[in-house]
Structure 1
Amino acid sequence: MSETEHLKETDMVRQPIKSAPLIPNIAPIQFLRQSSSMLDIPIRTTATAVLYYHRFNDFMNSKEKVINVDGSLSEEDVLYQNEELLTTTCLQLACKATEVPRKVRDLVNVGYRYYHPKGTTLDVDENYFKMRSSLVTSELLLVRALGFDLEVELPFAYCLNVLRGLVSIRYFMTDEAKKTTKRHHHSYTAQKEIWKKMENDMEPEMSAIARLAWMYVWDSLCSPKIALTHSIPGIGLGCLYLALRTSEVEMSMSMSEYVDMWGASENISVQAVRDVVTDLLDFYDHFPNITTPTITTTTTTI
């Protein structure tokens, strides 16, 4: 068989890659948020866990289906079908990647209590140690599925930095600020004081925009399509632009001028920002039609 014929045959049996869905399975996302609140985990770690979850699902949807000779599923498929184990694993790995240590016992107990609200208290018995053992194995599977790439960049900082830039323009329009800028142009300490004063003097309107943009960024990360197909700067700019528009703040520039000013350094196009805004609006349009999320759990251990 020639190489060309072999490639054609391979393409015939390979399943097409599914595009990331716009609307996620809400139950796992809700678990990651609530368990993070119970364990006092910062939002950066929670968002990292959510992205791990999206990336693993994308990996499973794009890989070829493998069934063993005896008909059993592969270890990755077992993890894929066990939401309780998968979400707990994502949260544990995110805690390690972001250096937010949490006890395995606490992660297991919170996960068990969330997915089995009417069950009995999890005792330190054989079942408990089986869950711990499965968590260790599933963590190795998750790391391998992620390609050993655990670094996650989030849009929160980029979005707020652009907002600070917008606020600084308005702040430095005052004569007093202009004089201070000229007098301490080369002083890093003075610049820090200016930024601190600027944030303390932020108008309530801009503070509301910051909170709204933060909410949009978080919601965008909950959508697999937005989180996996758009760039981080594009998501940050799109969410902030949507926050500015929905808050009806007066803008002296069009979207093209806005993107050229704040996205040129990252080579972000106007269409990229427009796509983020469109997908986020579609996300909100479809969200009310989602039925009550179902929790899928299995007792299979890895």
Structure 2
Amino acid sequence: MTRQPTSDEIFYLKSAARMLLFPTSTWATGLVLFHRYCDYISSQRGSNRDKDVIPSQICILLCLYLASKATEEPRRQQDIINVGYKLEHPNGDAFLRVDEQMDALRNTMTQAELVLVRILGFDVNVELPHNWIASILYGMAWWETKGVPPSDTELVDTRVKDVARLAWLVANNAVSAGLVDRESARVMAAACILISLRADSLPLPASDLSEWADVWARSSASRVERVQRLIEEHVDIAKCKQERDASNSRRANREVSYESQ
């Protein structure tokens, strides 16, 4: 049976990342590492190993801990442990005291970390599509102004921001679905943008998809569309769009409220 991260495990990881004030790059890297761990477990099943090598919650916290180092968002091991403890005991003490229990948890984390990095092949580097989304959209804005670099005011154009927000949400869900290691980050970013443009019925800034894919994805139209279909098989695009539109509505209401004060 294939080992896949459960919805509860993904929620746990994202909740811990939120409490640790991690940016998207860190929690997404942590989640990709957890997917890689699950792939390893799947590959071992049927060879006298039917259980996780590391308890799920400890593994999730360790993946975030390794991701914090890889993305240069370091957090102390003690902070990681306290966040995990708080999630497990929401009505208890906010923090563990530095005592024998904390020392025992630190030792457990340290030993489990050695196991996890070996499972990951000592490779905790992850290339996410998010940076490419920003880069491609910046280039597209430049392209539309016929070679004149867009100013800051042009970059915050509502249309570009809406495309970016939806593409970002789609990319987040692609990370949760374990798709990041199945394609190059640049092609996946282009597919997320293509999905966003088509969801909003916006034209491509090119003569056709082949030209657009060649310029922005450095790939073929068929490959970008294949990745688009892969994402759409695993991600609810309509739900992402609803989330984007709801966020825009809340933002607009806050701005109206602020202006009326």
Q: Of 210, 221, 225, which aligns to 1:270?
A: 221
Q: Percent identity?
A: 30
1:231 pairs, out of 175, 181, 184, with: 184
* Conserved 8 A contact 1:41-1:100: yes
Name the aligned partner's letter for residue 144 of structure 1: R
Question: In 1, distance between residues paired with 2:146 and 2:221?
Answer: 27
Alignment of 1:176-255 (within 5 A): 177=148, 194-195=149-150, 197=151, 199-202=152-155, 203-224=157-178, 226-251=179-204, 253-255=207-209
The equivalent position to 1:170 in structure 2, one of 144, 147, 158, is: 144
CA distance, structure 2, for counterparts of residue 60 and residue 270 of structure 1? 35
Change (3 A) 1:222 1:253: farther
Structure 1 residues without counterparts, runs of 5 or longer: 1-16, 68-72, 178-193, 289-302
Rounded Cα–Cα distance in structure 2 between residues aligned with 1:25 and 1:124:
32
Deviation of 1:44 (Å): 1.2
Q: CA deviation at 1:165?
A: 1.4
Aligned length: 236
Specify the alignment match of 2:20 in structure 1. 39
Distance 1:78 1:126 in 2: 25
Which runs of 5 or more residues in structure 2 are unaligned? 240-261
TM-score between both structures, scaled by the size of structure 2:
0.80
- Does structure 2 conserve the Cα–Cα contact (< 8 Å) formed by 1:97 and 1:150? yes
Evaluate the alpha carbon distance shift between residue 88 and residue 287 of structure 1 in structure 2; reply closer, same or farther with a 3 A threshold: farther
- CA distance in 2 between counterparts of 1:50 and 1:64 reads 21
Question: Residue type of the partner of 2:158?
Answer: P
Alignment partner, residue 300 of structure 1: none
Query: Which residue type is aligned with residue 104 of structure 1?
Result: Q
In structure 2, what is the equivalent of residue 156 of structure 1?
Answer: 130
Superposed displacement of residue 46, structure 1? 1.3
Displacement after TM superposition at 1:285 (Å):
4.7
1:25 aligned residue: 6
Superposed CA deviations along residues 77-118 of structure 1, whole A, max 9, x for unmatched, are: 330xx2210100101111122222212111111112113335
Q: Is the 8 A contact 1:89 1:135 kept in 2?
A: yes
SS of the counterpart of 1:101?
coil
Aligned partners of 1:25 and 1:269: how far apart in 2?
34
Question: Residue 58 in 1 paired to residue 39 in 2?
Answer: yes
Instruction: Please state whether the residue corresponding to 2:52 is helix, strand or coil.
Output: helix
Say which one has the larger Rg.
Answer: 1
Structure 1: distance between partners of 2:237 and 2:102: 39
Q: CA deviation at 1:128?
A: 2.5
- Show CA shifts across 1:160-197 (max 9, x none): 21111111111236xxx4xxxxxxxxxxxxxxxx45x2
Aligned alpha-carbon RMSD (Å): 2.7
